Structure 1
Amino acid sequence: MKLLVLSCALAGLAACGGGSGGMSVTAPPAALQLALQPVASGLSQPLYLTAPAGDSRLFIVERPGRIRVFANGALLATPFLDISSQTTSAGERGLLSMAFHPQYAQNGSFFIYYTDSNGDIAVDRMKVSDTNANLADPATAGRVITIPHREFSNHNGGQLAFGADGYLYIGTGDGGGAGDPLRNGQNLNSLLGKILRLDVGIVVPGQTYGIPSGNPYAGQAGWRGEIWAAGLRNPWRFSFDRGDGLLYIADVGQDQREEVDVAPATQAGLNYGWNIMEGTACYNAASCNQAGLTLPVFEYQHGANDVNGCSITGGYVYRGAAIPELAGTYFYSDYCKGYLKSFAYRNGAVSGAQEWAVDNPGNVLSFGQDAQGELYLLAGSGQVFRIVRR
């Protein structure tokens, strides 16, 4: 069952898979070769890496509930934040990601995404310490939103990111279980199986966030105004392209297909099809009505014995300065295979799909991006690697 594979992925169980196999892809250009450069090790299930704008440090999220700081070539001993007493690592739960406010340098605000002790999804706002830039101030913590999620321990989503519009985007899973038994993906009165968009810059008495007027269901009775996009199974990682203004969503599939959805970041109200579709195929049906659905721009099938992979780990479009030849290239991996693959999406079409000849890091949990736009890969072994020119 796919849900068990995902549980293994976050639990870091080596028995879930490994190896470097994959589908047939175009060989990388001979003039450019990549490598994975070790940056940090000894981490406990590193699930996310990010940095505030203009900052040279790396902030690494550990699933058990800690955020670690990597600065001046070393991992600091004292965590930036430790909420291990507030979360649980059962199933796919834990501290899953964080996002710095676009004006972090001025206001010191950041946000964390985790599952609380009941299993519910929680997004909290917090501030950095006034006296130590490498420590958060837990006393400033305040809940932004709680999303009930107690029936199953899997499909919690896990991504936070600020868009160019200054709003906070949240990727939630469908509530768990196989095949979306709770029917949340297509339910516009549920916040599960969605991308949400919140205004966390408006302070209204009695409210912890605002609903942007441009949200597609804002003010409509019976529908949740927080929803930006629907029809997702478990968008473990999504990202905004700094260059082309596109939103990339890597949505983990059920048993057969993994997908990447791409659309303009300004395009509201898209429905990506789950659980009517798994990728471009009807899910558990001989036929299905695809009217009004947005199908993925890229997908791959697991193949026999998951030869091509079992669970997509979405990454970023490269916009760094160290390897200009990669500009516009989207990177991704698969938890079970540990490969490094990429493609380009230009003029509405995918091109240049390829697998890069790098040493296999094992189970890939996530990608990360620093303030300069350079990319990192986080492995179940507790290591962080930087993608560099070989």
Structure 2
Amino acid sequence: MLIDRARNILLWLALSLLAACGGGGSQTSEPPPPANASLAVTLSGLPAGLVAPVRITGPANFSREITQTTTIGQLAAGTYTVAASNVVSGSTTFVPAQAEQAVAVAAGATATVTVSYSALTLTLGLREVARFNGAVFALSPPGQARLYIVERAGRIGILDTAGRMLTVPFLDISSRVSTQGEGGLLSVAFHPQFATNGFFFVYYTDFQRNIVVERFSVSPNLNLADATSGLQIISIPHPNFSNHFGGLAAFGIDGFLYLGTGDGGGAGDPLRNGQNVNSLLGKLLRIDVNNTTVGQRYAIPSSNPFVGQSGRRGEIWAYGLRNPWRFAFDSSGLYIADAGQDRREEVDIAALSQAGLNYGWNTMEGTLCFNATSCNQAGLTLPAFEYDHGPTDTGGCSVIGGFVYRGKAIPELAGRYFFSDFCGGYLKSFQAGGGGVRELANWGIPNIGNVVSFGRDNDGELYIIGQDGRVHKIIRTSAPRS
């Protein structure tokens, strides 16, 4: 009897557990799908060696990226999505016939799918937007669609949103600007909070050949600066020669103001300013211009590499430069186009956080020994990209640095750094990555003439400026990608 009672209790417990698990056993959980299916993905239409990331997603949170023809095994049965993006190589965009494909994969079987690419050639052209006598730079302030164009003689003009140059200059300081040699009003930098504080900074040379950076404010009339608001931030003596003034003031992503100064002039840097860390010439400087007062025109960021070191100027961020006429910031790094002496032009690329780099001048000219008697390359950072002048400067004579394209009008160009050459008069680009550059492209645009600078608006679109004062916008001339 005790055995029967025990058996009844166990039976009652078993029935109770079954009921608790869903209706007395009327519902059972589905077994997992067998992982014995396969998907063969074929990529076609791409040149050898070109990487084309394709993303496959499917059941059980499956996700994998492939870059070549592949068969994926041990898959659960179900529907998989194969997603492909455009692939850019130089001036050619490879477009998939279908951006997304849904593929049913049956248990125990192999499904196949082909991602077919076709080539579309991207061509670029120029559209003239302004002629401004002696134009050397162009930039839009934060929050504005208008383009401000810098004239070397000492004026800044405004190209309005209708494409018209305003007749009255935004700023005219021609009475204090010297255009001797390579001097003049060379650039403008708008404070990141320009929309609220109205501050902007100009980089020019005065009649004593000093490099001057001065802060101004906009007036209540947004078309005019307050010419009486000038506050000199820094004056760097440059007494010996009338060339190699550098020329750019620009705010970095960190909010500090960077200045690219030339080595003081003279062939071969006779004063050795490039390697002298107690001189502000031949350098990239970084200063803090926030909360500026008459008593303190700027502060030195504590993270600058030579702060507090005897015999070294705390303003220096990088050194060993010859004439960094133009440089540019991007999420991919800091690009410095440094003009060479007789043979090589270079572009130096560094991470935004890399401080204290020595780019080698005048020990090196690019990767060539310039000073053969002391060509010790220890501790030097050699260029990421360089090119030779060639016979009679057929390859160029002075690099003109531009910007990394981040606009929306030509998305295929994203991440490509544009540059030119004063003598070459071309438009070229490359993409940085992996410690070097790739996809060097010559966009085949003729008749630019002598190029002096680039410009950029708030949409990230780029402009190229000729010595003749013509300002051109870089545009697409081929059909846009689908």
Fold conserved between structures, TM > 0.5:
yes
Q: Identity of counterpart residues, as a percentage?
A: 60
Letter in 1 for 2:290: G
Residue of structure 2 in register with 1:114 after alignment = 204
Residue of structure 2 in register with 1:225 after alignment = 314
Are the counterparts in 2 of residues 167 and 197 from structure 1 also a CA contact under 8 Å?
Answer: yes
1: CA distance, partners of 2:217 / 2:145: 19
Please tell me whether residue 389 in structure 1 is matched to residue 476 in structure 2: yes
Match of 1:80 among 166, 170, 181: 170
Residue of structure 1 in register with 2:240 after alignment = 151
1: CA distance, partners of 2:223 / 2:174: 18
* 1:244-287 deviation per Cα after TM superposition (whole angstroms, max 9, x unaligned): 2x100000000000000000111110000000000001104166
- How far off its partner does 1:381 sit? 1.3
Question: Which shows bigger deviation, 204-213 or 121-130?
Answer: 204-213
Residue of structure 2 in register with 1:46 after alignment = 135
Are the counterparts in 1 of residues 90 and 439 from structure 2 also a CA contact under 8 Å?
Answer: no
1: CA distance, partners of 2:267 / 2:185: 23
Question: Which shows bigger deviation, 152-161 or 343-352?
Answer: 343-352
* 1:208-234 deviation per Cα after TM superposition (whole angstroms, max 9, x unaligned): 000000000011111100000000000
Match of 1:28 among 91, 97, 101: 91
Please tell me whether residue 183 in structure 1 is matched to residue 183 in structure 2: no
2: CA distance, partners of 1:96 / 1:382: 14
Question: Which shows bigger deviation, 192-201 or 279-288?
Answer: 279-288
* 1:314-352 deviation per Cα after TM superposition (whole angstroms, max 9, x unaligned): 001000010000000000000012100111001222100
Are the counterparts in 2 of residues 36 and 359 from structure 1 also a CA contact under 8 Å?
Answer: no
Task: Considering fraction of residues, name the structure with more strand.
Answer: 2
Tell me which structure has the larger Cα radius of gyration: 2
- 1:228-267 equivalence runs, <5 A: 228-241=317-330, 243-244=331-332, 246-267=333-354
Higher RCO (C-alpha under 8 Å, 6+ residues apart): 1
Per the normalisation by structure 1, the TM-score is 0.91
Residue of structure 2 in register with 1:339 after alignment = 426
Pair 70,95 (structure 1): closer, same or farther in 2 beyond 3 Å: same
Residue of structure 2 in register with 1:294 after alignment = 381
For the residue of structure 1 that corresponds to 2:347, the secondary structure is: strand
Match of 2:413 among 326, 336, 358: 326
Pair 222,204 (structure 1): closer, same or farther in 2 beyond 3 Å: farther
1: CA distance, partners of 2:280 / 2:471: 32
2: CA distance, partners of 1:234 / 1:33: 32
- How far off its partner does 1:90 sit? 1.1
1: CA distance, partners of 2:185 / 2:294: 28
2: CA distance, partners of 1:235 / 1:168: 15
- 1:271-310 equivalence runs, <5 A: 271-285=358-372, 288-310=375-397
- How far off its partner does 1:205 sit? 6.3
Please list every run of at least 4 consecutive aligned residues from structure 1 whose deviation after the TM superposition is greater than 6 angstroms: none
2: CA distance, partners of 1:203 / 1:92: 29
* 1:120-169 deviation per Cα after TM superposition (whole angstroms, max 9, x unaligned): 00000010002x10110011100000000121000000001101111000
Are the counterparts in 2 of residues 35 and 359 from structure 1 also a CA contact under 8 Å?
Answer: no
1: CA distance, partners of 2:427 / 2:232: 36
Question: Which shows bigger deviation, 183-192 or 216-225?
Answer: 216-225
Match of 1:124 among 187, 204, 214: 214
Letter in 2 for 1:28: S
Letter in 2 for 1:350: V
Letter in 2 for 1:105: A
1: CA distance, partners of 2:265 / 2:229: 32
Match of 2:147 among 58, 66, 76: 58
- How far off its partner does 1:360 sit? 2.2
Residue of structure 1 in register with 2:436 after alignment = 349
Which runs of no fewer than 5 residues in structure 2 stay unpaired?
A: 1-88, 93-119, 478-482
Letter in 2 for 1:97: S
* Number of residue-to-residue matches in the alignment: 361
Are the counterparts in 1 of residues 362 and 371 from structure 2 also a CA contact under 8 Å?
Answer: no
- How far off its partner does 1:50 sit? 0.5
Are the counterparts in 2 of residues 365 and 380 from structure 1 also a CA contact under 8 Å?
Answer: yes
For the residue of structure 2 that corresponds to 1:314, the secondary structure is: strand
For the residue of structure 2 that corresponds to 1:85, the secondary structure is: helix
Letter in 2 for 1:307: T
* 1:158-212 deviation per Cα after TM superposition (whole angstroms, max 9, x unaligned): 0011011110000000000000001100000000000000000033662100000
1: CA distance, partners of 2:315 / 2:236: 12
For the residue of structure 2 that corresponds to 1:92, the secondary structure is: coil
Are the counterparts in 1 of residues 137 and 465 from structure 2 also a CA contact under 8 Å?
Answer: yes
Letter in 2 for 1:116: D
Are the counterparts in 2 of residues 202 and 210 from structure 1 also a CA contact under 8 Å?
Answer: no
Per the normalisation by structure 2, the TM-score is 0.74
Are the counterparts in 2 of residues 93 and 156 from structure 1 also a CA contact under 8 Å?
Answer: yes
